[in-house]
C-alpha cells in the first residue's frame, strides 16, 4: 500500500513539474519552415587553445555562423541536438548579405560547456521579423521562428 501511495505521489509531482515547465517556457511565436529571407546558418566548432597569461580567460568553442540573402535581422535562436538545447532571445543583430565573391558571416558565440561534438546534427531555428517593409526591417513588427532544419556541426580552424 505504501508503494502505491509513493508511486501516485511521484507521478503527480512529475506531471505537475512538467506542466509548470511547459507554461513557464511556452513561446506563442509561430514556427514556419518558409525561409523568405534566405537565412543560412550552421554551428561551427572552433576550440580555443587557452590563455597562457590571463586568468579567467573565457572563449566559447561553438559559434552560430549566419547570413542572409535579403536584408534582415534576428532576435533570437534555438539550437537543439537530440539531448540538449541552447536558446537565446531578446537581442537584435543585423545579418550580413550573402556575397559569393566575398563571403561575409555574422558569428554569434554560443554558451560554454555544450555537450556537442564535431559531426553531431542540430536543428536550428532563428527568430526573425515576419515581413520586410520597403526593403528594411523594423524591430516593432511581429516576429516568427524560422526552422532552418538540420545542420551538421563542422570544425573550423
Predicted TM-score (pTM) of this structure: 0.74
pLDDT score, position 32: 87
* Stronger pLDDT, 13 or 146, i.e. the higher one: 146
Residue 19 belongs to a domain: no
Total domains in the chain come to 1
Residue 18 belongs to a domain: no
Residue 145: name the closest of 25, 27, 21 by CA: 27
**Other CB atoms within 10 A of residue 20 CB:** 10
Q: pLDDT averaged over the chain?
A: 83
Residue 76 belongs to a domain: yes
The CATH number of residue 138's host domain is: 2.60.40
Residue 109 belongs to a domain: yes
pLDDT score, position 150: 96
116: domain range? 29-155
Is residue 55 scored above 80 in pLDDT?
A: no
- pLDDT tens-digit profile of 79-107? 999 999 999 999 999 999 998 888 899 99
Amino acid at each position: 500500500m505504501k508503494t502505491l501511495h509513493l508511486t501516485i505521489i511521484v507521478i503527480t509531482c512529475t506531471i505537475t513539474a512538467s506542466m509548470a515547465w511547459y507554461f513557464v517556457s511556452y513561446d506563442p511565436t509561430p514556427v514556419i519552415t518558409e525561409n523568405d529571407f534566405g537565412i543560412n546558418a550552421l554551428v561551427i566548432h572552433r576550440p580555443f587553445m587557452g590563455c597562457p597569461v590571463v586568468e579567467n580567460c573565457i572563449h566559447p568553442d561553438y559559434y552560430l555562423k549566419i547570413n542572409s540573402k535579403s536584408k534582415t535581422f534576428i532576435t533570437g535562436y534555438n539550437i537543439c541536438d537530440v539531448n540538449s538545447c541552447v536558446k537565446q532571445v531578446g537581442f537584435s543583430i543585423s545579418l550580413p548579405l550573402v556575397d559569393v565573391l566575398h563571403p561575409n558571416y555574422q558569428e554569434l558565440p554560443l554558451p560554454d560547456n555544450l555537450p556537442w561534438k564535431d559531426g553531431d546534427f542540430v536543428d536550428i531555428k532563428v527568430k526573425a521579423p515576419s515581413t520586410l517593409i520597403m526593403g528594411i526591417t523594423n524591430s516593432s513588427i511581429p516576429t516568427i521562428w524560422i526552422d532552418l532544419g538540420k545542420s551538421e556541426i563542422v570544425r573550423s580552424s
